[in-house]
Amino acid sequence: MILIIDDDSAIRSSLSFMLKRAGYETQAVATPREAIEIVRSVAPQLILMDMNFTLSTTGEEGLTLLKQVKVFQPNVPVVLMTAWGSIQLAVQGMQAGAFDFVTKPWNNAALMQRIETALELSVVTPPKEEDGFDRSHIIGKSQSLMDVLNTVKRIAKTNASVLITGESGTGKELIAEAVHRNSGRAKKPFVKVNLGGISQTLFESEMFGHKKGAFTDATADRVGRFEMANKGTIFLDEIGELDISCQVKLLRVLQEQTFEALGDSKPRQVDIRVVCATNADLRQMVLDRTFREDLFYRINLITVHLPALRERREDIPLLAQHFAQQQCQNNGLPQVKLAADALDYLSRLPYPGNIRELKNLIDRTVLINAKDTLTADDFKAQYQSPIEQNKALSNLHGLTLDEIEKQTILQSLEKYNNNLSQVAQALGISRAALYRRLEKYGITIN
- Over its C-alpha atoms, the chain yields an Rg (Å, rounded) of 25
114: confidence class by pLDDT, cuts 50, 70, 90: confident
Question: Using CA atoms, how far apart are residues 248 and 39, in angstroms rounded to an integer?
Answer: 36
Residue range 331-375, pLDDT digits in tens: 888 889 999 999 999 999 999 889 999 999 999 899 888 788 999
* CATH 3.40.50.2300 residue spans of the chain: 2-122
The verdict on pTM exceeding 0.75 is no
- C-alpha 124, offset from chain centre: 23
255: confidence class by pLDDT, cuts 50, 70, 90: confident
DSSP class of 209: E
Residue range 433-445, pLDDT digits in tens: 888 888 888 888 8
| Mean pLDDT score across all residues of the chain | 85
What are the helix (H) ranges across 257-353?
282-287, 293-299, 316-330, 340-347
For 224-306, strand residue ranges (E) read 233-237, 258-259, 268-269, 273-278, 302-305
Question: Using CA atoms, how far apart are residues 440 and 413, in angstroms rounded to an integer?
Answer: 15
Phi-psi region of 281 (alpha: psi -120 to 50; beta: other; left: phi over 0): beta
**Half-sphere CA count of 5, side-chain side, radius 13 A:** 30
* Long-range CB contact pairs, 373-376, < 8 A, 24+: 373/336, 373/337, 373/338, 373/339, 374/324, 374/336, 374/337, 374/338, 374/339, 374/342, 375/339, 375/341, 375/342, 376/339, 376/341, 376/342, 376/344, 376/345
Instruction: Tell me phi and psi for residue 398, to 5 degrees.
Output: 90, 0
Q: What is the mean pLDDT of residues 245-256?
A: 88
Check: CB of residue 130 under 8 Å from CB of residue 303: no
* CATH 1.10.8.60 residue spans of the chain: 310-382
Q: How far is CA 61 from CA 53, 82, 370, in A?
A: 7, 13, 73
Predicted local confidence at residue 58, as pLDDT: 67
Q: Give which of 318, 319, 326, 316 is closest to 346, Cα–Cα.
A: 316
Check: CB of residue 190 under 8 Å from CB of residue 180: yes
* CATH 3.40.50.300 residue spans of the chain: 143-307
Residue range 38-78, pLDDT digits in tens: 888 788 899 998 887 765 566 677 888 888 888 788 888 99
Predicted local confidence at residue 191, as pLDDT: 92
CATH entry, 386-440, from 2.60.40, 1.10.10, 2.40.360, 3.30.1360: 1.10.10
Fold held by 310-382: Helicase, Ruva Protein; domain 3 (1.10.8)
Q: What is the mean pLDDT of residues 220-239?
A: 90
Q: Give which of 125, 171, 154, 122 is closest to 305, Cα–Cα.
A: 171
* CATH 1.10.10 residue spans of the chain: 386-440
Residue range 372-420, pLDDT digits in tens: 899 999 999 888 765 555 555 455 556 677 777 888 888 888 888 888 8
Residue range 103-112, pLDDT digits in tens: 777 888 888 8
CATH superfamily of the domain spanning 143-307:
P-loop containing nucleotide triphosphate hydrolases (3.40.50.300)
Give ∠ CA 44-47-50 in degrees, rounded to 5. Answer: 150
Q: At what angle do helices 420-427 and 354-368 cross, to 10 degrees?
A: 120
Q: What is the mean pLDDT of residues 192-202?
A: 83
Is domain 2-122 annotated with CATH 3.40.50.2300? yes
3-state secondary structure of 224: coil
pLDDT at 271 over 70: yes
pLDDT at 422 over 60: yes
The contacts of residue 259 (CB under 8 Å, 6+ apart) are 207, 208, 224, 226, 227, 252, 253, 267, 268, 270
162: confidence class by pLDDT, cuts 50, 70, 90: very high
Instruction: Give me the amino acid identity at 72.
Output: F
Predicted local confidence at residue 43, as pLDDT: 85
Predicted local confidence at residue 124, as pLDDT: 44
Q: At what angle do helices 420-427 and 431-440 cross, to 10 degrees?
A: 100
